[in-house]
C-alpha cells in the first residue's frame, strides 16, 4: 500500500536521533508491515499477512501494527488500517475461536491434513490463548489513543462473550472441551498427545492452551505467561463492557474469570528455585509437574511487564528474568556474536531477534539496552531488517528473512529509546 507523507515525516523525525547505521534498519523495520504485508480490502477490513507465509495470524497481525498507534489521530490511513484489522480479527474469531491463523478468503489453503475441525477460512487450527488476547489488547489500546468507540459494535461484543465462554470451558479441558488437534508425520512439537487432547491437567483456575505462542505444543496445558496475558485482556474487557456497552453482567463475568485465572497463577505458577528464589514457571499441569524454561515468542516470561501483568521491579519477575537469561534456561544460548533467548521452534542454539528486542524493551539498564541493539545490528546478515532466528556463531545462518512481527517489535524498541 502507499505510505503517507505523515508516516514518512514521523519516521524522519525519529531517524534524526539515530546514528547512521541504525537509521536504515529502523526505517525498514518501521515501514515493513505497511510496505509489505498490509492489504486494505473492499469490505472495509484489513488483512495483514505474517510475511513469508501467506496467512494472517491473530497474534502477529496485532503485534505488527502496534507501533503505528501513535499516528492514528494524525493519519486517517493508519486509522483505517487498524480499524479494518480489528474488524477482520473479530470476524475470524467468529469463524473459529480455536484457530491461530487464517486465509484472506475461504479458499481452503493451509494445513488441511491436520486432524481437527476444518474450515475453508482457517490456515491452521492450533489453539493458543494469546491468539485471543492480542485482538482484545489492540482494540483497547486503539480506543485509548483515538477515543473511537465505533469499533465496539455488536460483533465485537459477541467476540468478547465468545472468548470468555471459551476460556471458562477450557478451565475444564479434559471434562468439557471438544477441541483436539493431531498432525501426522511431524515433529513432536507440532501435534498434541493423548489423541489430540494434550497431556492430562487438573483444575487450577487457569485456562488451558494446546499450543504456545511459538505454535509449539505445550508440554503442560497451563502456559503461565499466556494466562497472565489473559488476566490483562480480561481487565480490558471488563472496562470496555462497563464504559462502552454498559453491560454489567459481561463486566462481572470478565472480572470473575480474571480473578480465578490470577489466583491459579499465584497458587500453581510460582516455584521455589534453589539458585534464583521464587520464580514463575513457564507451564504446569496443576498436578505437581512444572516446565522451567522460557521461549523467545511473546507472551513469554521475559515479557511479563510488557504485557502489563506486573512491573519491571516486581521481585518475582526479577528473579524469573535472571533465570530466563541464564544457562539454567534450556533455551538460553550464547555464541560468538550474541547471547539470548531461543526457542524449540527453531534449530538448537539459535537466538531470536524478538527475544533480544524484548529483553531490551523490558530492561531499565541503558547500557544493557545499547548492547542489545548493537548485538541485533551485528546479527542481521547485512539485511537491515530482523529475522526469526540466527546462529550466534554464524549470523549468515538464519531463518525467515521476511518476518514482519520481529521488524515491528524492533521499531517499537527504537521509538521508545528515541523518546517518542
Q: What is the pLDDT of residues 114-133, one digit of tens each?
A: 999 999 999 999 999 999 99
Q: What percent of the chain has pLDDT over 70?
A: 100
The whole-number pLDDT of residue 109 equals 98
Cell 488483512 sits on residue: 47
Q: What percent of the chain has pLDDT over 90?
A: 100
The whole-number pLDDT of residue 397 equals 98
What the block records as the C-alpha cell of 249 is 453482567
The whole-number pLDDT of residue 330 equals 98
The predicted model gives 76-96 an average pLDDT of 98
pLDDT in tens, 319-367: 999 999 999 999 999 999 999 999 999 999 999 999 999 999 999 999 9
The whole-number pLDDT of residue 60 equals 98
The whole-number pLDDT of residue 226 equals 98
Strands of 101-102's sheet in order across:
56-57, 101-102, 122-124
pLDDT in tens, 186-219: 999 999 999 999 999 999 999 999 999 999 999 9
The whole-number pLDDT of residue 222 equals 98
Measured CA to CA, the distance from residue 140 to residue 239 in angstroms comes to 9
The predicted model gives 225-247 an average pLDDT of 98
Name the burial class of residue 113, with classes exposed (0-12), middle (13-18) and buried (19+) by CB atoms within 10 angstroms of its CB: exposed
What the block records as the C-alpha cell of 325 is 537469561
pLDDT in tens, 383-405: 999 999 999 999 999 999 999 99
Query: How many residues belong to the chain?
Result: 420
Measured CA to CA, the distance from residue 107 to residue 109 in angstroms comes to 6
Residue ranges of domains in the chain: 5-418
The whole-number pLDDT of residue 49 equals 97
The whole-number pLDDT of residue 184 equals 97
Measured CA to CA, the distance from residue 352 to residue 112 in angstroms comes to 29
Q: pTM for the complete prediction?
A: 0.98
The whole-number pLDDT of residue 127 equals 98
Closest alpha carbon to 226 in 214, 201, 204, 209 = 209
Measured CA to CA, the distance from residue 280 to residue 329 in angstroms comes to 12
What's the mean pLDDT when you consider all of the chain?
Answer: 98
Query: 56: helix, coil or strand?
Result: strand
The whole-number pLDDT of residue 259 equals 98
pLDDT in tens, 275-294: 999 999 999 999 999 999 99
The predicted model gives 258-272 an average pLDDT of 98
The predicted model gives 79-105 an average pLDDT of 98
Closest alpha carbon to 356 in 334, 384, 381 = 334
In DSSP terms, 182 is beta-bridged to: 115
Query: What is the dotted CATH code of the domain comprising 5-418?
Result: 1.50.10.10
Amino acid at each position: 500500500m502507499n505510505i503517507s507523507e505523515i508516516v514518512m515525516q514521523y519516521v524522519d523525525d525519529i531517524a534524526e536521533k539515530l546514528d547512521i547505521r541504525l537509521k536504515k534498519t529502523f526505517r525498514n523495520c518501521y515501514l515493513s508491515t505497511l510496505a509489505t504485508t498490509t492489504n486494505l480490502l473492499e469490505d472495509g477490513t484489513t488483512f495483514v499477512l505474517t510475511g513469508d507465509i501467506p496467512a494472517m495470524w491473530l497474534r502477529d497481525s496485532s503485534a505488527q501494527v502496534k507501533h503505528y498507534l501513535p499516528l492514528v489521530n494524525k493519519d486517517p490511513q493508519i486509522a483505517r488500517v487498524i480499524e479494518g484489522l480489528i474488524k477482520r480479527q473479530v470476524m475470524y474469531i467468529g469463524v473459529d475461536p480455536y484457530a491461530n491463523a487464517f486465509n484472506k478468503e475461504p479458499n481452503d489453503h493451509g494445513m488441511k491434513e491436520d486432524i481437527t475441525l476444518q474450515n475453508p477460512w482457517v490456515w491452521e487450527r492450533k489453539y493458543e490463548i494469546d491468539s485471543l488476547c492480542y485482538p482484545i489488547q489492540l482494540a483497547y489500546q486503539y480506543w485509548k489513543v483515538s477515543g473511537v468507540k465505533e469499533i465496539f459494535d455488536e460483533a465485537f461484543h459477541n467476540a468478547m462473550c465468545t472468548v470468555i465462554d471459551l476460556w471458562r470451558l477450557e478451565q475444564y479441558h479434559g471434562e468439557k472441551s471438544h477441541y483436539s488437534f493431531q498432525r501426522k508425520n511431524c515433529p513432536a512439537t507440532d501435534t498434541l498427545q493423548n489423541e489430540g487432547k494434550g497431556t492430562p491437567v487438573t483444575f487450577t483456575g487457569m485456562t488451558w492452551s494446546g499450543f504456545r505462542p511459538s505454535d509449539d505444543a505445550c508440554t503442560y496445558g497451563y502456559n503461565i505467561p499466556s494466562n497472565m496475558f489473559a488476566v490483562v485482556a480480561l481487565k480490558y474487557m471488563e472496562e470496555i463492557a462497563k464504559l462502552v456497552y454498559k453491560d454489567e453482567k459481561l463486566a462481572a463475568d470478565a472480572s470473575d474469570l480474571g480473578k480465578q485465572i490470577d489466583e491459579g497463577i499465584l497458587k500453581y505458577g510460582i516455584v521455589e528455585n534453589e539458585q534464583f528464589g521464587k520464580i514463575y514457571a513457564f507451564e504446569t499441569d496443576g498436578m505437581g509437574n512444572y516446565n522451567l524454561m522460557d521461549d523467545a515468542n511473546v507472551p513469554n516470561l521475559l515479557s511479563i511487564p510488557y504485557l502489563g501483568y506486573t512491573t519491571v521491579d516486581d521481585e518475582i519477575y526479577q528473579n524469573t528474568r535472571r533465570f530466563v537469561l541464564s544457562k539454567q534456561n534450556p533455551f538460553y544460548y550464547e555464541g560468538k556474536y550474541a547471547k539470548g533467548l531461543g526457542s524449540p521452534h527453531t534449530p538448537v542454539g539459535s537466538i531470536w531477534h524478538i527475544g533480544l528486542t524484548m529483553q531490551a524493551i523490558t530492561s531499565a539498564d541503558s547500557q544493557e539496552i545499547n548492547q542489545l541493539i548493537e548485538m541485533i545490528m551485528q546479527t542481521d546478515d547485512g539485511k537491515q531488517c530482523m529475522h526469526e532466528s540466527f546462529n550466534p556463531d554464524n549470523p549468515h545462518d538464519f531463518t525467515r528473512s521476511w518476518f514482519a512481527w520481529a521488524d515491528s517489535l524492533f521499531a517499537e524498541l527504537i521509538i521508545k529509546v528515541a523518546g517518542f
